[in-house]
Structure 1
Amino acid sequence: MTTDNLVPRAIETASTDGRGALTAETVGEFCEALGISRSFAYRLAKRGDLRFVKLGARTLVPLSERARVLSSRSNGKLC
């Protein structure tokens, strides 16, 4: 067994709940869902309004952040 086979499984496991349900998405998927640019997402993270999770070279956004950002957006708190 090589370690090459372990990395994709580790990434898949970390972004799902073990039963295959998605718990995190890529920054690109997050931005597409919200209709924002990647640079705006990184700006939100820099100022503390968005939480990223690093998994090796991948940057993921927990799905809970999508709901939180959407509620902040509807309250006019995100600019």
Structure 2
Amino acid sequence: MQWKVRQAQKGKIPVGPRRTRPTDGEAPNFKVLPLRMEAELVTQLDEARERLGLKSRMELFRRSLHTFLLEVGEVRVAEMFAPEA
């Protein structure tokens, strides 16, 4: 405990309540979608994502949803997943 107090006095660790990130207006309402996959499949997806130069799995899923929804004619919904320019 004394070590932690000394670290705080030196300014090396934050003291007091955590600051929340400022928001512009009301925070968006998110839902988490559980997605269970075998580890080997996730490894293959990650390798494909890297080859494609995508930054994250989320970008891979969003682009995939965008492409699939366009192919099946759900243009309005697909636009919600369009890659940002």
Provide the TM-score with structure 1 as the length reference. 0.32
Which structure would you say has the larger RCO, counting Cα contacts within 8 Å and 6 or more residues apart?
1
Q: Which structure would you say has the larger Rg?
A: 2
Structure (1 or 2) with the greater strand fraction: 1
Provide the TM-score with structure 2 as the length reference. 0.31
